[in-house]
Structure 1
């Protein structure tokens, strides 16, 4: 047993139950952030296939296992360069089950001392690939991943979300071989920064709580519960260190400030509840704003929204939108249309505050060419690099360009919503392969249009930058 090598990502997630969302959808969404700042991502559709005889080996840490059975088709956001693993991350399969893996978390050293992390265990790079093809419900996802963790262990502490149109489950790896999961109440939302999130756990309610069979005995055997009158997962397994107060809890504070504005809380408090009932229904656009936010409208905004000039406040907390943003997905499964076209994955590459979310139906067999291309070298023909270029152009002149950027993002969102309406109307008359081919073609057309608009924005901003250089010299003005 030994600790695995350093995790590559440190993300932000939000979960919205069907009675908490504006249109009755379930929503699980997450920003994938890489420590290096550059981790080119793609968006693909992986075909259904039989996995009998497939021996899976991780290129990241050497984990290996045998896979079996018929595997479903699913969407995925893998690395462009897979020399260090697939890192499929998030998508929706043909049974309209969504999975997002993972939200990096931290278990305290006391618990890890009794159940250490496993060097060659099931880590983020592998979870999606070995679970997503084989599940038909979120609960099946929890149970299958749980069996893997119990058998092979994990080298990381993570949170993983599963959903379908009816329910959302959040799964946490509590230590090397232990795990817990909770079904999110339908009328609640939850924000997940990089800490253990689940609070009170009820062993007598298997409809809403699941865990490995040894969890309770493990905690009792090693005297891990600081408050024996309850079984609070965050208090037992969580880190609750000083860094959490600046790196993690402020993100939860800001999200709850958006969706429960009447509640006054300290952004550094480690007692902010995980589950909340929103004061108004939450739309996809609200989720997009949160996942693209940087403490907008507060003194903690690193872009100095209030022009306060207090850099200590501006640099105090870890922002959601930041330099190492790579890929963000909103996995929306609707309840007001037939299952064949109910699932939509909204995909955002680059720096989330500048780039748009693009709606893709997930009952598809292909994605745009520029969404499948992402090497380590800059390439304007790659959707990932095109959106990363926006960050390079906009950030040095943020206050000059942000209004144009926001207008662009709003226009793309309105276009995307309108496209979903139009595609839904035509999809209602189709079925089977004809429907899948139609959704594929139309999703690609939607993305291609937004890519064209992104290039137009870049053209405008680059021209503006070139025409406003600090090194201007007009002969007539200087004689």
Structure 2
């Protein structure tokens, strides 16, 4: 668990973001899927980091370092451990607030393709702790990733490092750790002051483990598949709490504390979610760690597992009667992650770490392709205060607003995130896997460069999406908060929030399905434009280009309105290119749109417009002037968009805004008409 200092700080922050009961706080949920149970044959591990609904997380790449003999790792709790001569580069998910010196890196990759998640907090029973108390200056869970991941070449080495720490330094708090590489996964329980046990995880099982020790019968003589403390059995035997079955120690019955309702909720809900045919009863006498199934579990299924609130069951956590039920998809998630260990990847690449900032229910999982060397600036913002410059705070704001009313605010946020995740997964299978493998064959440096580029592109897209949805959700909240229809008046209906990112066609389809007419009053904050008639258009700066675009047939009115301030979509720009150039076909850019996960129904921003216009200029063999247009935000542009931005500015198809490019700014119909006139 996080420190008391951090807890006190976060409670102050929760006043802003806490729209949920405190009963869901202070716990994590882990999951493992063996490769024979995985839908694509690649094993997976994951965890939700549950503690506070308002606690900043970051994603940080740390280069390899060298140390002098005698240098020590030191944490704020008094734990020390010798540093190796050289550490390996890592990318991890540390806390954004570290003023007390506590880093809590949570999960990550190292440059050897080793990954880990740490930790799921767990507590031994009173008899075990009395016999082997926790130590004052032993290993604390917040240091596990920091001290282990940078120094290991294999998962088994990670287990050996933890075993050495337990033997020599001891433990401050019980925990469960999972370490993996392409050859094997190790599940390890750190039980008491100096007792521990780890198993090589079998290929044909899956596991759900909340905040309780779960290991059953263990053969400590099986040195190939088990690593255990020397006194694991003798300590329990000498102090009268050893429980054996079939001549083997039963770790859970020997060392674990009794199962409480919060852990039972997640075991019952999680195991049955991943295999609904199991139908394990809620009041089962026990839940096994190793679950067998004939189902195949996909990466998308694990994402939904980390979101589940047991919807559609008697324990549905969204129902008022179940306010005390502990869901896996708690609003107290700081972040959630799922790790694919991809066996066809080069060893140094390892796999994909999918990270959802804030609580996963209304956040988007973003891929990190192995041990990348950098992340975008919004993923690195430190501190304990909200700022829109932070990916965590922006994504957490979307979640907090979505959960005010899941049907009105959050339903279609989830639909959009689901669409994005499926699009990314499809592209990975279709092309990115092959590109990454080929790049690594060229050289590790080339592979890592491509992996970093792709990861940062997806981070930027997710951050831009969240920024737009946060803006729209805030507008929606201010609109509907005064609407009596929201407060239960049966004669009033309120339109739900529908992200503009879903596209106009989908928005209209949803409203039609819900029985809203086009003329019904709407709480939806979509700008229909302020100038609607010829007289009103006369006062608008876009009068001439919009009238020209409509008269030439490049654009059409919207419901007989000019609507110059209405936002436009990617398909609108493609339609203009198609209308102006008989030799151009919109479908010719489909591969480009797929490459950058841009759908034709997405809102058109300046960054996407630059990408499309630059590709069109090349296809149409338009000569691009060599002149350089200065912009103040050039250094902050994503690398992949710098060339397109420079090209369209040089062509004069787009112009700076107050001296900057402003890549995330949305394009309006008036601005689109100007582009149409300039092409």
Q: Deviation at 1:110?
A: 0.5
Distance 2:353 2:177 in 1: 17
Q: Secondary structure at the match of 2:73?
A: strand
Partner of 2:464: 452
Partner of 1:37: 53
Pick the structure with greater CA Rg: 2
Distance 1:185 1:326 in 2: 30
Distance 2:359 2:391 in 1: 12
Partner of 1:133: 150
Distance 1:129 1:392 in 2: 30
TM-score (norm 1): 0.91
Find out whether 1:51 has 2:52 as its counterpart: no
Q: Secondary structure at the match of 1:83?
A: coil
Are the counterparts in 2 of residues 14 and 190 from structure 1 also a CA contact under 8 Å? Answer: yes
Distance 1:69 1:178 in 2: 28
Identify the match of residue 111 of structure 1 among 120, 124, 128.
128
Are the counterparts in 1 of residues 112 and 349 from structure 2 also a CA contact under 8 Å? Answer: no
Partner of 1:286: 301
Aligned length: 458
Q: Secondary structure at the match of 2:304?
A: helix
TM-score (norm 2): 0.65
Q: Deviation at 1:216?
A: 2.0
Partner of 2:402: 394
Higher relative strand content:
1
Q: Specify whether residues 149 and 5 from structure 1 end up closer, same or farther in structure 2 by C-alpha distance, changes over 3 A only.
A: farther
Partner of 1:65: 81
Find out whether 1:469 has 2:481 as its counterpart: yes
Partner of 2:287: 272
Give the unaligned 5+ runs of structure 2: 8-25, 485-520, 522-679
Q: 1:396-443: CA deviations, max 9, x gaps?
A: 221113321121111220232144243323333322212211211121
Find out whether 1:262 has 2:277 as its counterpart: yes
Distance 1:270 1:239 in 2: 14
Distance 2:377 2:344 in 1: 31
Q: Deviation at 1:452?
A: 1.5
Identify the match of residue 96 of structure 1 among 113, 131, 135.
113
Q: Secondary structure at the match of 2:149?
A: helix
Q: Secondary structure at the match of 1:70?
A: coil
Are the counterparts in 1 of residues 45 and 339 from structure 2 also a CA contact under 8 Å? Answer: yes
Are the counterparts in 1 of residues 388 and 467 from structure 2 also a CA contact under 8 Å? Answer: no
Q: 1:99-124: CA deviations, max 9, x gaps?
A: 11100111001010011011221011
Are the counterparts in 2 of residues 25 and 165 from structure 1 also a CA contact under 8 Å? Answer: no
Alignment of 1:59-458 (within 5 A): 59=76, 61-84=77-100, 85-227=102-244, 229-241=247-259, 244=260, 246-304=261-319, 311-312=320-321, 314-421=322-429, 422-430=431-439, 431-458=443-470
Q: Deviation at 1:384?
A: 0.7
Partner of 2:623: none
Are the counterparts in 2 of residues 259 and 279 from structure 1 also a CA contact under 8 Å? Answer: no
Q: 1:328-355: CA deviations, max 9, x gaps?
A: 1112110133334441110111121010
Q: Deviation at 1:471?
A: 5.8
Distance 1:400 1:429 in 2: 45
Q: Secondary structure at the match of 1:50?
A: coil
Q: Which segments of structure 1 move beyond 4 Å, counting only runs of 4 or more? A: 4-9
Q: Secondary structure at the match of 2:352?
A: strand
Distance 1:219 1:469 in 2: 59
Q: Specify whether residues 266 and 395 from structure 1 end up closer, same or farther in structure 2 by C-alpha distance, changes over 3 A only.
A: same
Are the counterparts in 1 of residues 87 and 151 from structure 2 also a CA contact under 8 Å? Answer: yes
Distance 1:225 1:340 in 2: 43
Partner of 1:308: none
Are the counterparts in 2 of residues 51 and 68 from structure 1 also a CA contact under 8 Å? Answer: yes
Distance 2:67 2:308 in 1: 41
Q: Secondary structure at the match of 2:278?
A: coil
Q: 1:297-336: CA deviations, max 9, x gaps?
A: 21222223xxxxxx33x12421112232101111211013
Q: Specify whether residues 263 and 425 from structure 1 end up closer, same or farther in structure 2 by C-alpha distance, changes over 3 A only.
A: closer
Q: Specify whether residues 285 and 416 from structure 1 end up closer, same or farther in structure 2 by C-alpha distance, changes over 3 A only.
A: same
Distance 1:270 1:409 in 2: 38
Q: Secondary structure at the match of 2:473?
A: helix
Higher relative contact order (CA 8 A, sep 6+): 1
Q: Specify whether residues 143 and 270 from structure 1 end up closer, same or farther in structure 2 by C-alpha distance, changes over 3 A only.
A: farther
Partner of 2:624: none
Q: Deviation at 1:463?
A: 3.0
Find out whether 1:20 has 2:29 as its counterpart: no
Are the counterparts in 1 of residues 61 and 91 from structure 2 also a CA contact under 8 Å? Answer: yes
Q: Specify whether residues 268 and 194 from structure 1 end up closer, same or farther in structure 2 by C-alpha distance, changes over 3 A only.
A: farther
Q: Deviation at 1:7?
A: 9.9
Q: 1:25-80: CA deviations, max 9, x gaps?
A: 1211001111x433211111111122334322212x12122212221111111111
Are the counterparts in 1 of residues 30 and 46 from structure 2 also a CA contact under 8 Å? Answer: yes
Distance 1:429 1:177 in 2: 46
Give the unaligned 5+ runs of structure 1: 305-310
Distance 1:268 1:79 in 2: 37
Distance 1:46 1:288 in 2: 27
Are the counterparts in 1 of residues 336 and 359 from structure 2 also a CA contact under 8 Å? Answer: no
